[in-house]
Amino acid sequence: MSVTKTGKKKLFRMTVKRKIMLSGIITTLNIKLDSVDEDGLGRLLVLDNDKMTEEVRKEKLMELDSQLQELSLIHDVLEVVCVHEDDVFLRIHMKEDRGWRNEWDVPLEVFNESIDKMIEILRWFQHSKFVHMSEEQFKDYDTKVEFLLELKAFRNSEE
């Protein structure tokens, strides 16, 4: 395991380019989060559907709550990596207070599952028929996935 001179575990090296890329990934995730949050379109569609039985409506709302929790967890994992504890100019803006200050505070299983799910989300956006993009933008998603895989490999190799 790599440690600094002060005995702390080394953090994933976040260059300016990597921070920008990770911020873009978080922005993509926020689009998905906005659709399931308290005021999101998904929730409004369920609440305004007159043809849905009360039982089905409750089930759909529970699914949205579950998605919201899952996406919020992914957001918090990515946010803590993007900012780290040592970045004096930025604050970690988590959806929930989890007490994490860097990627080492995140349980490994949670970290891996969050990265894997974010890769799925990026692939969905990349291949979505609703998002029209140039070939360069399409390749940009591949670059983001490679970055997340590199981050995951770093975290797993250092355990």
pLDDT tens, 70-126?
A: 999 999 999 988 887 655 445 567 777 788 888 888 999 999 999 999 999 998 888
Asked if residue 151 is part of any domain, the answer here is yes
Residue 69 banded pLDDT, cuts 50, 70, 90: very high
- The tally of domains found in the chain comes to 1
Beta bridge partners of 9: 3
Asked if residue 23 is part of any domain, the answer here is yes
Name the residue among 73, 85, 146, 144 with its Cα closest to residue 110: 73
Q: With 60 as the cut, is the pLDDT of residue 159 above it? A: no
pTM, rounded to two decimals? 0.82
User: What is the span of the domain harbouring residue 65?
Assistant: 16-157
Asked if residue 11 is part of any domain, the answer here is no
Asked if residue 41 is part of any domain, the answer here is yes
pLDDT (0 to 100) of residue 108: 95
pLDDT (0 to 100) of residue 74: 95
